[in-house]
Structure 1
Amino acid sequence: MKLTKRQIDGATAPGKKPVYLWEKSLAGFGVKVLPSGTKKFIVKYRAYGGGRTATQRWITIGAHGQIPLEQARKRAQQILAAVANGDDPQSERLAFREAPRLSDVWARFEDSELSSKKAATARDYRANWVQVIEPKLGAIRVADLSRAHVDKLHRSMSGTPYRANRAIALLSKLMTLSEIWEWRNQGTNPCRYIKKYKEEARERFFSMPELNKLGEAMRNLVDEGAIWPDMANALTLLLLTGARRNEVLSLKWSWVSLDQGLIRLPDSKTGKKTLYLSDHAVRLLQHQQKHSRDPDSSYVFPGQREGKHLINIAKPWSKICERAGLQDARIHDLRHTAASIAVGQGVGLPIIGRLLGHSQTQTTARYAHVDNDPALTAANTIGRAVAGALLK
C-alpha cells in the first residue's frame, strides 16, 4: 500500500509525541507527523544493509508541502538502493557535514605549533590568517580546497606581491599539515603549482644629508616634548648597531656589557647573537641608563606599562620623518644604512655580516674562536659616521 497525499494531509499527532505513517510497498519510507502539524518525509534503515544488530539510521528527505510525495518517494528509493549495495548514506552525510574546515586546521596549528615560533613569525602568521586567508577560505572544507580557490586568492592580491606570497606560503603549510593529520589525501596540496609573484628588493639607504635632517628633527622633537628621549635613543641605537627593531626594543640591561662594548642577545631572528657597540653607542647607553623614564626597569627602553618594554615607535618615527621631510622611509632602512656606511668606509663584507648578524649562530662556542676586535673596529667606523649626523 502506498501513502497518498490525502492521507498525509489528514494525519495529526494529538499527543506530545510524533506519529509515523509508513509505506508498506517501500519498507523504510514514511512520514513523521509532529504535534506542531509539521510533516516530514523520512527514511529509516539499518546501516550497511545489516540486520537487527546494525545501527539504525534516520534520514529526513524534506517537508511535506515543499517536496511532492512522488519526488520524496523516488529519493527514498535511491537511498534504500544505496543501503542495499552496502552503503551508509546518513553516515556519509554526517561525515561530510562534520568534515574539518580550513579554520579547524588553523585552530589546531595555533594550539599545537604556533607557540614554538618566534614572536615576529607568530605575529605575521596571525595577521595573514585573520586579515587574508580566513575571510575568504576559512569556512571551506579542507578536502574541498582546490587550486582554483588558492589561485583566486593569490590573484586578488596582485597589488601586494610580498604579502600575497607570504599568505600562500602559510596556506601551503596548513595544507601540508592537513595531509600529515590525514584530513586531506596525501600529495594534494593545492598551493603546489601556484607561481609566486616577483618581489622587488627594497633597499633604501639614507644619505648623509638625510641623516643630518633626521638628527636635527629628533633633537628638536625631543626638546619640544613631542617624542620621548627614550624613543630617540632607541632609533639612534638601531642605526649605530644595524640591529633589528625588536632586538633593540626588547633589550635588557643584563645582556649589555658596556665595558666590553658588547650586547649578547640570548635569541634573535637568527638565534643567539652579539651586537658590537661603538664608543658612541656606549655613551648613548650610559646616558640612557642615567636618564631612562624608568630607571628601575630591567629593560633598556621601558614601555608605558610597568614591567614591559617599548613596543610602538612607528608613530614617533613618522613624526621624525615628517619633520625631516623624508618620504617613503622605514625604520628598517636604518639597518640598511648602517651596512651601506660600513661598505662606504671600506669595511669587508664578512665583518659587516657579523655586525648585522647575518650568519646563523647556533652556539656561543662559535664566538670563542673569533676575535672581536675587527667587528668592534667596524662598529666604531659606523659610529663615527653616524655621530657626525645624529649626535651633534
Structure 2
Amino acid sequence: MTITNIANGVASLASVQRVQSAKGFRWRAQVRRKGYEQQSAYFDRKSDAEAWARQIEAGIDAGKRPIGSEAKKHTLADAIDRYVLEVLPDKKSAKDQKQQLSVWNSLIGDLKLSEVTTDRLLKARTSISEHRGRRGGNVSNATVNRYWAALHHVLEITVREYGWLEQNPMKRVKKLKEPQGRVRFLNAAERVALLSACSKSENQFLETIVLIAITTGLRRREILELDWDRVNLETGQVIIEETKNGTRRSTHLLVPILDRLKQLYKQKEANSGLVFPGRSGLRPIDIKSAWYRAVEEAGLEDFRFHDLRHTAASYIAMDGGSVPEIAAVLGHKSFQMASRYAHLSDDHTKTILEKTMKGVLGDE
C-alpha cells in the first residue's frame, strides 16, 4: 500500500509492505517527506503499520518534531529503568510496581519503543495472565490489570516527560474485566470468636488493632502506622495522612477503644511516637503471625485482615447506611467501591420506600 499526501505544497510518501524478516513475515511502514528524515518501523499487524504511518504524517503536518529517532534509539527497558530510578521511589506501591515492571522487562524490554505495538503488548499481557499465582492457578484479571497500570504509567511518563514517544500505545490495550469485588464479613458468632482469640494472643496490641479495623474500616497499614501526634485522646479523632488514594482523611474512635489507647499512651516508650511500635520502637509491630493464629483458633474460613474493612462497611450498610455514607467512612473517592455493599441495605431501602410511597397506591 502506498499513500501520497500533499501538505503545504510538499508531497510525502507513506508505504506499508509485507516483508520477510528473521522473525518471519512482518509489515514495514515507511514515511518519506522532503526535508525530513525517512521514518520506518516494523509491525506484526498491517493495521498497526498503517496507524503508525498516519501518526507520523499527522505529526509532521502539525509541525511537530519528526518522531521515530528517539523511539528507535531507546528500548522499553531504557524507559522502565529510568522510571524505576526517577519516579518509582516516590510511590507508595514502589515494591510491587518494581516487580511488575521487571516482568514486562523480561518479556518485551529488549524492544525499541517504536516496536512496542498493541499486538506486542497484548501477547505479553497474555503471558502474564498465564503465570501461576501463589495458589497454583492463573493470576486473576485484577492482578493482570495492576501490571497493565504499572506499564501504562511508565509509557505516559515516556511521552509527557522524556519525549521518547508521541503517543502511549498502552491506551489501545483495554483493561480486563474484573469480577465484582469480594464482600466477606464477620457474622456475630464469628466476631465474638475472633475477638476472643485475639484477647488471648501473646501480641498485646492485636485485639485493639482488630477492634479499630472493625469499627472504623481503616486499612491494616493505616492502623499500624498510626502515631500519637495524629490521635486526639480527648475527642477520639484520628487523622490519616498517608492514605492509599493519596488524600488526607479522618475518622473517630469509639469510647471503649479510646480508653484502651489512653492506657497504652501511659505505657508507651519514650523513644517511639508509634501507637503500635515493634521491639525497636522505630517500626510498627508485625502482627502477621499473631493474626493467622487468631483466625485459625477462631475457626474462620477464607478470612483475611482486609475483610475487617469489609466487615465495617457491611455493618454500616445493614444498619441503613447509604453508599455515600459508606464511601465517606472508608475514604473512597468515588461511590463505585462502596456500592458493592448496597445490597446489604435492602431492608432499609424497603422501609424507606414503604414510608415515602405510602399513599401512592391509595388504600392498597
Structure-1-length-normalised TM-score: 0.59
After the TM superposition, which residues 348-387 of structure 1 pair with which residues of structure 2 at under 5 Å, given as runs? 348-359=322-333
Residue matched to 2:30: none
Residue matched to 1:183: 164
After the TM superposition, which residues 335-346 of structure 1 pair with which residues of structure 2 at under 5 Å, given as runs? 335-346=309-320
Match of 1:288 among 254, 264, 277: 264
The answer to whether the 8 A contact 1:142-1:178 is kept is no
Q: SS of 1:263's equivalent?
A: strand
Residue matched to 1:278: 254
Corresponding letter in the other structure for 1:256: V
- Give the direction of change, closer, same or farther, for the CA distance of 1:207–1:127 in structure 2 (3 Å limit): farther
Q: Within 1, Cα distance between the matches of 2:188 and 2:329?
A: 21
Q: SS of 1:191's equivalent?
A: helix
Q: SS of 2:172's equivalent?
A: coil
Q: Within 2, Cα distance between the matches of 1:247 and 1:269?
A: 9
Q: Within 2, Cα distance between the matches of 1:164 and 1:333?
A: 22
Alpha-carbon shift at residue 139 of structure 1 (Å): 3.1
Match of 1:143 among 89, 97, 114: 114
Residue matched to 1:331: 305
Greater Rg over alpha carbons, structure: 1
Q: Within 2, Cα distance between the matches of 1:298 and 1:348?
A: 36
Match of 2:234 among 234, 239, 259: 259
The answer to whether the 8 A contact 1:276-1:355 is kept is no
The answer to whether the 8 A contact 1:150-1:168 is kept is no
Q: Within 2, Cα distance between the matches of 1:303 and 1:142?
A: 46
- Structure 2 segments unaligned to the other structure (5+ residues): 1-36, 39-68, 131-137, 335-364
Q: Within 1, Cα distance between the matches of 2:318 and 2:109?
A: 49
Alpha-carbon shift at residue 291 of structure 1 (Å): 4.6
Match of 1:193 among 148, 172, 190: 172
Q: Within 1, Cα distance between the matches of 2:302 and 2:221?
A: 21
**Root-mean-square deviation over aligned CA pairs:** 2.8
Residue matched to 2:354: none
The question of 1:128 aligning with 2:100 is answered: yes
The answer to whether the 8 A contact 2:75-2:111 is kept is yes
Corresponding letter in the other structure for 1:280: P
Residue matched to 2:195: 215
Q: Within 2, Cα distance between the matches of 1:351 and 1:205?
A: 18
Task: Tell me the number of residue pairs that the alignment of Structure 1 and Structure 2 aligns.
Answer: 256
- Give the direction of change, closer, same or farther, for the CA distance of 1:251–1:197 in structure 2 (3 Å limit): same
> Once the two structures are superposed, what CA deviation does each residue of 1:4-56 show, in whole Å capped at 9, x if it has no partner?
xxxxxxxxxxxxxxxxxxxxxxxxxxxxxxxxxxxxxxxxxxxxxxxxxxxxx
Q: Within 2, Cα distance between the matches of 1:135 and 1:314?
A: 32
- Structure 1 segments unaligned to the other structure (5+ residues): 1-85, 88-94, 361-392
Alpha-carbon shift at residue 332 of structure 1 (Å): 1.2
After the TM superposition, which residues 1-392 of structure 1 pair with which residues of structure 2 at under 5 Å, given as runs? 99-117=73-91, 119=92, 121-130=93-102, 132-156=103-127, 157=129, 159=138, 160-180=140-160, 181-184=162-165, 186-187=166-167, 189-200=168-179, 201-220=181-200, 222=201, 225=202, 228-270=203-245, 271-291=247-267, 294=269, 296-310=271-285, 312-359=286-333
Q: Within 1, Cα distance between the matches of 2:208 and 2:175?
A: 39
Alpha-carbon shift at residue 295 of structure 1 (Å): 5.6
The answer to whether the 8 A contact 2:199-2:206 is kept is no
The answer to whether the 8 A contact 1:264-1:273 is kept is yes
Residue matched to 1:17: none
- The percentage of aligned residue pairs carrying the same residue is 28
Structure 1 range deviating more: 135-144 or 297-306: 135-144
The answer to whether the 8 A contact 2:142-2:176 is kept is yes
Q: SS of 1:239's equivalent?
A: helix
Residue matched to 2:339: none
Using CA pairs below 8 Å that are at least 6 residues apart, which structure has the higher relative contact order?
Answer: 1
- Give the direction of change, closer, same or farther, for the CA distance of 1:307–1:211 in structure 2 (3 Å limit): same
The answer to whether the 8 A contact 1:289-1:295 is kept is no
Q: Within 1, Cα distance between the matches of 2:333 and 2:118?
A: 37
Q: Within 2, Cα distance between the matches of 1:106 and 1:242?
A: 35
